[in-house]
Amino acid sequence: MVSLVSSGICGCGSEDYDLHFDKDSSKSAFRFESQDARECAVPFAEDLCIPGEDTVTTSENDIEAGPDSYAAAMLFDLKGKKTLYSKNPYKSLYPASMTKVLTALVALENSDIDRVLTADESCVMTENDVQKIGLRAGDTMTLDQALHILLIYSANDVANLIAVNIGGSIEGFAQMMNDKAVSLGATNSHFINPSGLQDDDHYTTPYDMYLIFNEAINYGKFIEIIGMSEYSTIYHDHSGNEVNFECETTNRYLKGQYNPPQAATVIGGKTGSTLAAGTCLVLLSKDSSGNSFISVVMKANGVDVLYSKTNKLLELLQ
């Protein structure tokens, strides 16, 4: 809680104001800026979509439990700055590999894409049930290559590769992730790792996921990568030998396994899936007029439910 006494707060008279803005507040809505030698309370999300009274919050298609269930869903109109659909926007949920949106964002903000990254032992993953490319200590690739593999193939060892090279360690990079999330107003999130592998203390909300994704799409490189259906490259092992790598996207819209409604064009997004998180998808789409929309569906009970609910959201596009 911040108590502010000022002779002018955004043009208001002399009054005492108690305003919430801290990372523990569930609905932080203000930041303080110095302007014309006075303190001014500015709506933190003044240029963002905010769930309001006119937002659709219920639907006959909302299913809370059972084989067709999902925990949360949202649809944002970026041009109109409106939330068109909202179910459980502030529910704390596990993001799984949607985490990698924030990993990419922090990397793009703090490093050059041509930087060469070198794997250490923290990048080596031997578990059979973990999405990985099989990095070994000493392997190298550029950040550009790493971002493609991170966002298209969702490789967890490559997420660690980015983290240790940019943050100095997994823990150091996680702190950068949390700092960035708070700076965006995503105050109901906490990140432990760059991959989204399950941890009880690694969580976000659908609305926070929108805030993070909405920031990431300011980068043309990010949009370029999430729209790719496949990728091939050559990186190098610890001895300098070439390693050929090819992959397909985890986004089933881009693979042609699911089709969006006729009025919607899918640009790209990021999937996530663990036993605890269910199946998740944050997606950038356009309507027939070229206007952009972000959709978020979290903890769907399987891929069919995930894409079916996402399509229900995209049917709201004209």
Please report the DSSP string for the chain in residue order: -EEEEES-BTTB-SEEEEE--STT-TT--EEEEEETTEEEEEETTTTS----TTSB---TT---SSTT--SEEEEEETTTTEEEEEESTT--B--GGGHHHHHHHHHHHHS-TTPEEE--GGG----TTS------TT-EEEHHHHHHIIIII--HHHHHHHHHHHHSSHHHHHHHHHHHHHHTT-TT-B-S-SS----TT-BB-HHHHHHHHHHHTTSHHHHHHHT-SEEEEEEE-TTS-EEEEEEE-S-TTTTTSS---TT-EEEEEEEEEETTTEEEEEEEEE-TT--EEEEEEEEESSHHHHHHHHHHHHTT--
Q: What is the pLDDT of residues 102-156, one digit of tens each?
A: 999 999 999 999 999 999 999 999 999 999 999 999 999 999 999 999 999 999 9
How many Cβ atoms are within 10 Å of 190's Cβ, its own excluded?
19
Torsion (CA) 234, 118, 163, 201 in degrees, nearest 10: 100
Q: pLDDT at position 280, please?
A: 98
Each of the 318 residues of the chain gets a pLDDT tens digit; together they read 333 333 332 333 333 333 333 444 444 333 333 333 333 333 355 567 777 644 555 444 444 557 789 999 999 999 999 999 999 999 999 999 999 999 999 999 999 999 999 999 999 999 999 999 999 999 999 999 999 999 999 999 999 999 999 999 999 999 999 999 999 999 999 999 999 999 999 999 999 999 999 999 999 999 999 999 999 999 999 999 999 999 999 999 999 999 999 999 999 999 999 999 999 999 999 999 999 999 999 999 999 999 999 999 999 997
Are the C-beta atoms of 235 and 243 separated by less than 8 Å?
yes
- pTM score of the predicted model: 0.84
Residue among 315, 316, 318, 281 at smallest CA distance from 298: 281
Strand order in the sheet with 230-236: 116-118, 140-142, 230-236, 242-248
Q: pLDDT at position 57, please?
A: 53
Residue among 106, 313, 14, 74 at smallest CA distance from 209: 74
Residue among 215, 243, 222 at smallest CA distance from 143: 222
Phi and psi of 172, rounded to 5°? -65, -40
Q: Give the integer Cα–Cα distance in Å for 18 and 2.
A: 6
Are the C-beta atoms of 17 and 49 separated by less than 8 Å?
no
Q: Give the integer Cα–Cα distance in Å for 128 and 20.
A: 46
Residue type, 133: I
**What domains lie within the chain, and their CATH numbers?**
2-43 (no CATH), 48-318 (3.40.710.10)
Residue among 79, 74, 108, 76 at smallest CA distance from 91: 74
